[in-house]
Structure 1
Amino acid sequence: MNAAKGLFKKAMGKDHDDRPVPQPDQRAQGSPVSQQDIYKYRFQYGTNLGSIFVLEKWLFSGMFEKTAEGGSELDAVKASLQTRGLQATVEKWEKHWSHALLDKDMEFLINEAFCNTIRLPIGYYTLGPEFCSGTPFEGEPSQVYRNAWSHVLHTCNKLAEAGIGVLIDMHALPGGANKDSHSGTSSPIAGLWGDKHNLDLARKSLVFVAKEISAGKIPNCTGLQLCNEAAWGAKGMYEFYGNVLAEISRIDNSIPLYISDAWKLDTALDWARKQNTISSNTNLIIIDTHKYYTFDEKHKSKSPQEIIRIVPEALSACNQIAGNVHQNGAAPVFIGEYSCVMDAQSWNRVSESERQALTQQFGQVQCQQWHTQSCGSAFWTLKMAWMPGGGWGFVAQTRNGSVRPPAYLSILWDEVPHRIAEANDHMERGRSHEIQAHCHYWDSKDPGKHYEHWRFEAGWDDGWNDAVSFFGAKEASGIHIGRGVDRIGCLDGWIRKRMIEVGQSGPLGWEYEHGFRNAVAKVESVLLR
């Protein structure tokens, strides 16, 4: 460290020798990178579990009696209760939950898909009868869910054994965040918004889950999603988010909270970055946005080739504010749902013989964008009654090459120590050069202006060490299943966390951020080559 300090002073130049430079033991130290940090901030690649705890008829029609009047969870459970009675319905539902992840599913996720994350949709009723009071699930339907939450925890723990993270997605909220049947009922209105009872119950449900996560019951939790696919223009949505954020921050501010963008990504970006400043030590907000190219008329009127060409535009709004946490705050984006489906009107514009190649190109172009412009993605979906699922099936689209993981998720673990050693060798040679280049650039750009280049050095060291920690985490975790390594995927969110921890919120905190980003880019060019 003394040698590093000497190089730093030399890089600063003679005129700067008298400036106070914090000694290594005077700098605020960030907490060591933990396994929970890895789960929450690595790049998330995976799939939705699908229609397990929130039923959708088109995915599991066998859960619906012929007498079911609609395609929602409530329709299914009421029809079953009427036809089979309570005990048989409980047995049927619990069998469905317990078969969510079979051994063959785990084998696929680990050794074929190289998946490191599952988005797991649940409903407020999944939490048990207490949470059904004053809702359409009250009474006998609520008794079906007496053990539902324990099944969720069992599913999460099974994934934890393989090192796969879980995003708990409150997919179905009281009254419905949207008008669709995956909100739990077939109500034609989005009854959550503007209804005090429903909003209070939604908040209570989310707080319960946050407490369970904080208590360590889901050690592989990547975050908690507050709402799924909020209706366009949902009144009071951001007030609801703010209220839940404030309450959960008092319980555990380390849990990333995912929000629905209500199909208006630019508005969500603006709100999220205002919450995710380095002066606000509340839970990190991550935006969940869904990218489908099959439902809107604007997409149906396009050919497959035209749709493929517009995919790179999907996250253009994110690029305008990313990469400058000190000034803009953080606004990470997660692609919570996407598929390889296009409408028949689009496919009718090409020959049948072209379809397979175009599907592969469509999926691969999407993956390329999500891998480089977001903090993660989850395909819709893993499980359905009609496996492997066609354009909606993660299994089908993985096996035909349409959906591909980042290459580093298949790196063999015996390569990890060698790559880290090589990276550290580069660090010894490159560190002083990067510090010197930074100091020279800014001192030349504005001679006489006061800078604090020690911040760049501190950021550089932290960035390098953190990137190496993420890369080596799986190999060091003791969970020796499958292969692959991790990288800091939610980089803006992680930099915010570090800047808060080490007190880099002052006017020159940007130097720390520059150093951190510089080091991460340099080390990843070696580790992930």
Structure 2
Amino acid sequence: MFDNLKVKSKGSKIEPADPPVSPGAKPTKKQIYQARQNYGVNLGACFVLEKWIYHGLFIDDTAVELEATKKSVKKLGKDDTRKKFEDHWNSFMSDSDWDWLESHQVTSVRIPLGYWEVDGGKYTKNTKFEKYAKDVYKNAWSIFKEKFIEKAGTKGIAVLVDIHGLPGGANGDSHSGEKEGGDAEFWSSQGLQLQVCDMLKFIASDLKKYDNIAGIQVVNESVFSNDTKRQRYYYGAAINSIREADKAIPVVISDGWWPDQWVKWVQEKQSSGNIGVVLDHHCYRCASDDDKKKSPSQIIDGLNNDLLTNLSDNSKGVDIMIGEYSCVLDGQSWDKDNSSSKRDQFVKNFAKRQIELFNERANAGSYFWTFKFEAGSGGEWDFKTMSDNGVIQSPIGFKGKSVPDDRKRDEILDHEFNNHKSYWDNSNKNEKYEHDRFKDGFLTAWSDSKAFAEFNGSVIGRREAWKDARLDEHIKQKGKGKHVWEWEHGFDSGLKSFKNSL
């Protein structure tokens, strides 16, 4: 009961985060890493093992990482097991892999981690990994920083730190690392939640020195629930714990397969300012019984109406990302309408439509599942295969393009401003508008977009948080007034116009 009250108390009120950009200043490299739109990929089965992706460390028919670790320690001892795991982490990404990611304009990697790997296993007390973490996993955190964060930084690639495995599991799936099936026990243990909150504070503090951290994800695929009370308390406590160490780092939460309920929660918590949260949605069309009943063409045609739709106030104020997606459809779908005979084209169409909609509706970007497989190609689950086959490519594609000069900017601004002014003046000739606000918003968005583009062709991604920060600056300079919406229209026009000009 005491722990329950502590979690509730810790998470009940969430203060606004520091703005994603300093008032009156150009964005820094760190701020661009934290706020750009990402074209990314997951490094699945590296630090959180999944047998279907990398099977080599699973012995004696084990199915999850905890079992594999237990059996390996029993057979080989702790030191040899540690060496075997460290060899896997150290060799997972070669120099050529990082070069390939850079050449394919990948801007971020989402790296699933288990709670047992953080800071030498320090946060495993009273968990199923406690017996093994401080021996087998004692160097995992330092390897993660050196071989992944630091290496990614040399390529201009950000790292999204994804706490994929929580004690007891945030869902009943094997990728929790502890078990295959059963209840999501994490949500019923406030003691474990408080322990994880301490861990998140450490992560935020320890990684603050790096520029290229895209965010910290506090849970992966939270179990679907009609009553989200436990998730709400944990999310609040987790956010506040991170904010004790870092006021600005984006915090990523799972939408629990029901995005609108979390859009509303974030909107409610942001009544006094942006809290720096990104909502993570996963897009799979191969698992549910409903999707299996559909043909590939039905699934593709249906994406527009079932992907991130019907969100409260059109998700105003909430930045959204796609943490996982693939090009995979179920075999039952391929059996319909002779679809297998046109499989390659359907896969391309499916990928293209997903990426188009992600680009429109998930402004913080997307991460394919997954990068590589131990036994060759993973087919439509395989990022490298899908990229090399021309199925997927970056929707951003601005790297190397020249930025428009001021003359071009002013020409576009004049056109957009005149259209704005003409429309509203003709709509209500008696209204005393403040059209200069439109110009201010446009020029702010254009200037910021230019700064992003000059860093490896980046694009502003967390547009809601960024817009809130710049709007707050504008209001402090020019006052709020009834026509502040004209600044917002100008800002939106500036973002769109800059993007279209490249």
TM exceeds 0.5?
yes
Determine which of 148, 156, 164 is the counterpart of 2:157. 164
- Partner residue in 2 for 1:97: 89
Q: Distance in 1 between matches of 2:234 and 2:437?
A: 38
Determine which of 440, 448, 459 is the counterpart of 1:487. 459
- Partner residue in 2 for 1:332: 319
Q: CA deviation at 1:116?
A: 1.0
Q: CA deviation at 1:469?
A: 1.1
Q: Distance in 2 between matches of 1:274 and 1:235?
A: 14
- Partner residue in 2 for 1:119: 110
Determine which of 44, 47, 50 is the counterpart of 1:53. 47
Q: CA deviation at 1:462?
A: 0.7
Q: Distance in 1 between matches of 2:160 and 2:388?
A: 24
- Partner residue in 2 for 1:353: 341
Moved more, 267-276 or 147-156: 267-276
- Partner residue in 2 for 1:183: 176
Determine which of 278, 281, 293 is the counterpart of 1:289. 281
Equivalences, count: 471
- Given that 2:161 and 2:213 are in contact with CA atoms closer than 8 Å, whether structure 1 keeps it comes out as yes
Moved more, 430-439 or 356-365: 430-439
Distance 1:459 1:315, change over 3 A: same
Determine which of 521, 524, 527 is the counterpart of 2:496. 521
**For the aligned residues, what is the CA RMSD?**
2.2
1:87-112 residue CA offsets vs partner (Å, 9 max, x unmatched): 1011011111111211221122122x
- Given that 2:201 and 2:244 are in contact with CA atoms closer than 8 Å, whether structure 1 keeps it comes out as no
Q: CA deviation at 1:223?
A: 0.9
Matched, 1:511 2:493: no
Kindly provide the amino acid, as one letter, of the partner of residue 115 in structure 2.
Y
Moved more, 430-439 or 254-263: 430-439
Determine which of 370, 373, 378 is the counterpart of 1:384. 373
Distance 1:374 1:329, change over 3 A: closer
Secondary structure of 1:292 counterpart: strand
- Partner residue in 2 for 1:19: none
- Given that 1:164 and 1:220 are in contact with CA atoms closer than 8 Å, whether structure 2 keeps it comes out as yes
- Given that 1:340 and 1:391 are in contact with CA atoms closer than 8 Å, whether structure 2 keeps it comes out as yes
The two structures have a TM-score, normalised by structure 1, of: 0.84
Secondary structure of 2:53 counterpart: coil
- Partner residue in 2 for 1:466: 448
Q: CA deviation at 1:457?
A: 2.8
Structure number with larger C-alpha Rg: 1
Moved more, 75-84 or 348-357: 348-357
Distance 1:467 1:192, change over 3 A: same
Q: Distance in 2 between matches of 1:219 and 1:109?
A: 19
Structure 2 gaps of 5+ residues are 1-21
Kindly provide the amino acid, as one letter, of the partner of residue 517 in structure 1.
D
Q: CA deviation at 1:29?
A: 4.8
- Partner residue in 1 for 2:77: 85
Q: CA deviation at 1:364?
A: 1.7
Distance 1:318 1:246, change over 3 A: farther
Q: Distance in 1 between matches of 2:499 and 2:158?
A: 22
Secondary structure of 1:377 counterpart: strand
Matched, 1:420 2:408: no
Distance 1:430 1:212, change over 3 A: same
Match runs of 1:206-355 below 5 Å? 206-214=200-208, 216=209, 218-233=210-225, 235-276=229-270, 279-282=272-275, 284-317=276-309, 321-322=313-314, 329-349=316-336, 350=338, 352-355=340-343
Match runs of 1:374-453 below 5 Å? 374-375=362-363, 376-406=365-395, 408-409=397-398, 411=399, 413=400, 415-416=401-402, 419-421=403-405, 424-439=406-421, 441-446=423-428, 449=431, 451-453=433-435
Q: Distance in 2 between matches of 1:40 and 1:317?
A: 26
Distance 1:407 1:467, change over 3 A: closer
Secondary structure of 1:457 counterpart: helix
Secondary structure of 1:132 counterpart: coil
Q: After the TM superposition, which parts of structure 1 deviate over 6 Å for at least 4 consecutive aligned residues? A: none
1:292-347 residue CA offsets vs partner (Å, 9 max, x unmatched): 1111000111111111111222435267634xxxxx74112111111111111111
Q: Distance in 2 between matches of 1:32 and 1:171?
A: 34
Kindly provide the amino acid, as one letter, of the partner of residue 468 in structure 1.
K
- Given that 2:274 and 2:465 are in contact with CA atoms closer than 8 Å, whether structure 1 keeps it comes out as no
Calculate percent identity across the aligned residue pairs: 33
Distance 1:447 1:149, change over 3 A: same
- Given that 1:276 and 1:329 are in contact with CA atoms closer than 8 Å, whether structure 2 keeps it comes out as no
Q: Distance in 1 between matches of 2:298 and 2:416?
A: 43
Structure 1 gaps of 5+ residues are 1-27, 323-327, 475-484
Kindly provide the amino acid, as one letter, of the partner of residue 334 in structure 1.
M
